[in-house]
Amino acid sequence: MSLAIVHSRAQVGVEAPPVTVEAHLANGLPSLALVGLPETAVKESKDRVRSAILNCEFDFPSRRITLNLAPADLPKDGGRFDLAIALGILAASSQIPPEALAQVECLGELALSGAIRPVQGVLPAALAARSCARTLVVPKANAEEASLATGLIVIAADHLLELAAHFNGSSPIEPFVSQGLLRQTRPYPDLAEVQGQTAAKRALLVAAAGSHNLLLSGPPGTGKTLLASRLPGLLPPLDEQEALEVAAIQSVASHNPLEAWPQRPFRNPHHSASAPALVGGGSRPQPGEITLAHQGVLFLDELPEFDRKVLEVLREPLESGQIVIARARDKVRFPARFQLVAAMNPCPCGFLGDPSGRCRCSQEQIQRYRSKLSGPLLDRIDLHITVAREATALHVATDSHSHNGPDTATCALQVARARQLQLQRQGCANAFLDLAGLRQHCALSTADQTWLENACERLALSLRAAHRVLKVARTLADLESAPDINRQQLAEALQYRDHPQG
């Protein structure tokens, strides 16, 4: 047979569109043509494939070879198609049976020796192959990652010779069975290690319970970064679908996607990060920090030090939970359902309101510093808390954790109970309630409704901010297992809306 078809997968964002590799042999002068919008790395695959086939002591056809990567309008890049191309040439030249490749998808880069090297983006391809009920052939180094798609048959190989023997039936490869050795989590830092800061710890608990965004403001050295790093430990474990989403993103962006999986990600980019670094971009769009923080925490330390234009790109993802990167050729959609935790100083020197009286910043300097944060961005942050300096002796650090309030495990149980109530009631965390959900699950009595409207008027809160007050109050009620929101919970939620003044 002079025509063979092999199935593979491209990588576009965190999706894996199908690619059909067609290999055709025709009479004529020996040549090899590769068509189908291949980029440089794909064009070079014909040289890698030729050397791999010859070094495995197969015959490389001395005929006119045409390789088509369909669909023709989908850009192809990377070395992920090497294995499919090699198998296509071997099948077209009858060195392996073409029918053996009918229900198989292949991913892998070939070395000149015929060894099969790992590639990125295997998990999205595995999930897509599972939906098509096909077997997936991958390098052994990617087998554990591919096996996360439960129900998928994975064939793992280290060398082209192994696969040729498998498809010829002389030495079948057993489907890969995961040992689960990589699913080991790292311990989270303990909340009890943070001294004092009772109010800030309470805000952290509320943020975790309702998946609310949080802004911590205070002088240097008051524990803002320590508090933020404790938030992932308070959040509920990822369910199967969330864990797969996180792993798929890491698969596209990392060479070691299962490191510390299935824990929630915690990303803390430096304040010099550019907008593309934060939201993603590039000529071939790659995920940015907000996508890498999907289903986890994005911590922005020294918030006003970020470029204002960089911060403004966070507005839409904070509302929609996704980011769309548009380029001349195409648009790529990345998930970005993250929980924002930000930290800032109250003024340029950081000591405004400190009892030591060290602050010498003028009102104009303070106003210029705070004007880097726009009102619409601050509106999207549910909890604003001031972390004040506390007089604490150094010897407290050697005392038992019992002096520092509840530990991470205790708070995580409270969060888990509150989240379970929310999932049973509305199917999502309180922070993600839409307008219909607000009306249904955050209803107030007539007196409380009037009281809240007057309070929002006095504080000059926008309608969006008022809605977020209701969501926080609903979370406070869930922490107390209360069916309805009361005045006390509304008052506490309003306290979190005051912009930090130091």
State the burial class of residue 157 (Cβ atoms within 10 Å of its Cβ: 0-12, 13-18, 19+): buried
What is the C-alpha end-to-end distance of the chain, expressed in Å?
Answer: 77
pTM for the structure as a whole = 0.89
Helices (H), 374-461: 375-379, 408-426, 435-441, 446-459
Q: What angle do CA 69, 74, 78 make, to 5 degrees?
A: 70
pLDDT by residue for the chain (502 residues), tens digit each? 589 999 999 999 899 999 999 999 999 999 999 999 899 999 999 999 999 999 999 999 999 999 999 999 898 999 999 999 999 999 999 999 999 999 999 999 999 999 999 999 999 999 999 999 999 999 999 999 999 999 999 999 999 999 999 999 999 999 999 876 555 567 888 998 888 889 999 999 999 999 999 999 988 888 899 999 999 999 999 998 999 999 999 999 877 777 767 889 999 999 999 999 999 887 778 899 999 999 999 999 999 999 999 999 999 999 999 999 887 667 889 999 999 999 999 999 888 877 778 888 999 999 999 888 998 899 999 999 999 887 654 545 455 444 567 889 999 999 999 999 999 999 999 999 999 999 999 999 999 999 999 999 998 898 999 999 999 999 999 999 999 999 999 999 999 986 444 3
Q: Is the separation of the CB atoms in 241 and 277 below 8 Å?
A: no
Q: Is the separation of the CB atoms in 127 and 149 below 8 Å?
A: yes
User: Structural domains in the chain?
Assistant: 3-168 (3.30.230.10), 191-424 (3.40.50.300)
Q: Hey, CA dihedral for 164, 167, 170, 173, is it positive or negative?
A: positive
